[in-house]
């Protein structure tokens, strides 16, 4: 069996979206003749604990864990957030911040920790893995980012050994939606862009999760970029199926940050409630994950505060159950310049559980391309939702046809194996 070194920050018992892609690739790679060798921190920032994901690590896998030093203790001390998790995407669940100390922390993150807060792990990882590869050769190296420091580790190993290198981008680097919020100096911006271009040009293969991202990365790469989308694992679909809610539940799974707020949808649902008392009685807005205070204010402004149910952060198995229980699922893409290229694994899991979807995002984007022809209402942020179409979605209690195998994780892994 051939061996592939996979350099990833996110690995169980950490949970969340960042883990899923390469955990599932690792699960199915042995069936294609590849033994996954996982290199990951032993003490990462624990964003979401989900130890149940360990069951997907195949028995063939070798997992190497090495300590990492991260600056988040300093960040929390500077900002006074000693007891809080460090959220991605500037999510604000609690007290409103944005003062001088927060601005300083953002400046430090963008200008001193380049490309990201895990950069201190790069040199010790290169030293350790150079020795490891001398004793335990591999046939290919994969790095997956963010954090994009993982690519810097792989680049150094590739330069030293010539081993085939695949750089996988789950999210953009300099085109990420919050890049412009990092308060970068010209020098820092140039360093970010220089590192990104070096990775894109030196890797043997560059992979993106969507067509828009691939096109954007192809320009600095100077060549085509491969696309392997996110997907769903048939093993994760609840069996027996979870019964569909009797309530008119609109369920959002994952973080509802400020950029994902959908005030035009809240207003449309509020209008339906005013015109239809029975609809109003049954409507619930259920959030499975963290919710930004601004989104809650937006819902309250529409008059729907009493319809909100907050489940909080749950493990992946529970999240899949909540998806299957939903009357309708909400996919809200970030209101950001890169929204066209957002294509999360959540979308494919939504399709797999067979529930109707309300999606909000650009109609020339990748998510629209995937949802076209399926049981979904797709809105851009300038649309006024049609009340009757919304009512039809909520009235549809019977499961709709689940997703075909096109986006199944085992199928996608076979595509990956062809690139290794």
**Is 210 found in the same domain as 250?**
no
Residue 79 within a domain: no
pTM (2 d.p.): 0.91
What is the per-residue pLDDT for 96? 47
CATH label of the domain that carries residue 354: 3.40.50.2000
What is the per-residue pLDDT for 87? 46
Residue 47 within a domain: yes
**Is 173 found in the same domain as 122?**
yes
**Is 280 found in the same domain as 251?**
yes
**Is 327 found in the same domain as 306?**
yes
**Is 241 found in the same domain as 214?**
no
Residue 94 within a domain: no
Residue 80 within a domain: no
Domain count, the chain: 2
What is the rounded average pLDDT for all residues in the chain? 91
What is the per-residue pLDDT for 58? 97
**Is 374 found in the same domain as 255?**
yes
φ/ψ (deg, to 5) at 142 = -120, 135
**Is 306 found in the same domain as 200?**
no
**Is 238 found in the same domain as 223?**
no
**Is 147 found in the same domain as 122?**
yes
**Is 268 found in the same domain as 212?**
no
The sign of the torsion formed by the CA atoms of 357, 358, 360, 364 equals: positive
Give residue-wise pLDDT tens across range 40-69.
Answer: 999 998 888 899 999 999 999 999 999 998
Q: How far is CA 409 from its chain centroid?
A: 15
Domain limits at 18? 2-69+115-232+410-419
Highest-scoring range by mean pLDDT, 165-174, 337-346, 384-393: 165-174
What is the per-residue pLDDT for 113? 86
Residue 271 within a domain: yes
**Is 251 found in the same domain as 166?**
no
**Is 122 found in the same domain as 57?**
yes
Residue 283 within a domain: yes
C-alpha–C-alpha distance, residues 366 and 12, integer Å: 28
Give residue-wise pLDDT tens across range 193-251.
Answer: 999 999 999 999 999 999 999 999 999 999 999 999 999 999 999 999 999 999 999 99
| Structure tokens belonging to residue 305 | 């505060």
C-alpha–C-alpha distance, residues 205 and 201, integer Å: 9
C-alpha–C-alpha distance, residues 300 and 283, integer Å: 14
Closest by CA position to 210, among listed 227, 193, 188: 227
């Amino acid at each position: 069996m051939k061996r592939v070194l996979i350099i990833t920050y996110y690995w169980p018992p950490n949970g969340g979206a960042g883990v899923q892609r390469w955990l599932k690739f690792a699960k199915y790679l042995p069936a294609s003749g590849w033994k996954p060798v996982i290199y990951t921190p032993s003490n990462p920032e624990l964003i979401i604990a989900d130890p149940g994901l360990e069951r997907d690590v195949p028995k063939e896998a070798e997992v190497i864990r090495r300590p990492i030093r991260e600056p988040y203790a300093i960040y929390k001390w500077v900002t006074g957030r000693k007891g809080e998790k460090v959220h991605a995407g500037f999510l604000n669940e609690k007290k409103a911040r944005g003062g001088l100390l927060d601005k300083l922390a953002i400046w430090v993150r963008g200008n001193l920790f380049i490309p990201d807060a895990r950069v201190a792990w790069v040199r010790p990882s290169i030293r350790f893995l150079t020795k490891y590869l001398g004793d335990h050769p591999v046939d290919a190296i994969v790095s997956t980012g963010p954090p994009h420091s993982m690519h810097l580790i792989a680049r150094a190993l590739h330069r030293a050994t010539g081993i085939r290198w695949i750089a996988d981008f789950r999210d953009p680097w300099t085109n990420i939606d919050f890049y412009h919020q990092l308060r970068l100096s010209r020098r820092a911006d140039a360093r970010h862009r220089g590192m990104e271009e070096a990775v894109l040009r030196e890797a043997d293969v560059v992979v993106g999760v969507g067509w828009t991202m691939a096109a954007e990365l192809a320009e600095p790469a100077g060549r085509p970029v491969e696309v392997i989308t996110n997907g769903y694992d048939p093993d994760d679909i609840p069996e027996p199926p979870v019964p569909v809610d009797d309530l008119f539940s609109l369920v959002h799974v994952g973080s509802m940050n400020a950029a994902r707020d959908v005030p035009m949808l809240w207003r449309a649902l509020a209008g339906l409630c005013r015109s239809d008392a029975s609809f109003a009685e049954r409507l619930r807005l259920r959030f499975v994950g963290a919710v930004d205070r601004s989104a809650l204010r937006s819902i309250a402004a529409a008059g729907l505060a009493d319809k909100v149910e907050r489940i909080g952060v749950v493990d992946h198995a529970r999240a899949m159950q909540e998806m299957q229980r939903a009357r309708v699922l909400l996919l809200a893409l970030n209101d950001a310049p890169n929204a066209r290229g957002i294509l999360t694994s959540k979308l494919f899991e939504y399709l797999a559980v067979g529930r109707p979807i309300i999606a909000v995002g650009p109609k020339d984007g990748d998510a629209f391309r995937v949802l076209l022809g399926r049981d979904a209402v797709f809105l851009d942020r300038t649309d006024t939702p049609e009340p009757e179409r919304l009512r039809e979605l909520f009235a549809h209690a019977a499961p709709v046809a689940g997703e075909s195998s096109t986006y199944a994780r085992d199928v996608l892994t076979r595509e990956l194996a062809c690139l290794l």
